Amino acid sequence: MPVALETLAEGTGQRDKHVSEVANEIGLINILHICDYGTPYKNAEALYAYADYPASIINVPLKFSDGSTLNLKEAQQRFSRPVFGGLERLGVIAKGSIEEAKKAVDEVLENAAPNFILGADCTVPGETDWDKLRAVIDYAHTWRETHKR
């Protein structure tokens, strides 16, 4: 007998939450990654089902299938914890030049909360230029000193 999609989703959610609870109990830092790799979320409201999952840090998608977006400060406010991400895994970090990636870092960090952690929204493709990644990481590590407000 087939299982209703709602029943399957509810059971999966309960298991996911339990895994997050256990990880939070045994780890010093627990990052809740809400992945949209296989199936994009319709909008930000769909993410808020995870708002009560225990975690130190949240990593969420910022663009949705309905064309809407979520900004980093709103994500941090809605989840009440620091946000990790800001760079699209398939965007300039993977396909652009070093200068384009640095410009994206500028845009993200100029609008991020002080306790924000810069990173990709998910796994960066394996064929991404590692020298570019290193250059962008080095740039980000000195960003607050070189971009004083």
pLDDT, average across residues 29-58: 88
Distance from C-alpha of 82 to C-alpha of 16, rounded to nearest angstrom: 20
Tell me which residue of 43, 37, 41, 40 sits closest to 68, measured CA to CA: 43
87: tokens are 């760079």
17: tokens are 């939450």
pLDDT given for residue 5 in this prediction: 40
Q: Is the pLDDT score of 25 beyond 60?
A: yes
Contact 84, 119 (CB under 8 A): yes
More confident site: 6 or 109: 109
Q: Is the pLDDT score of 12 beyond 70?
A: no
Contact 62, 95 (CB under 8 A): no
Q: Where are the domains of the chain?
A: 1-82, 90-149
pLDDT given for residue 19 in this prediction: 86
Partners of 134 in beta bridges: none
* Extended strands (E) in the chain: 31-33, 57-59, 84-87, 117-120
19: tokens are 């895994």
Alpha carbon distance, N-terminus to C-terminus of the chain: 62
- Number of Cβ atoms within 10 Å of the Cβ of 30: 17
Q: Is the pLDDT score of 4 beyond 60?
A: no
pLDDT given for residue 10 in this prediction: 59
Q: Is the pLDDT score of 106 beyond 90?
A: yes
Mean pLDDT of all residues in the chain? 87
Q: How many residues does the chain have?
A: 149
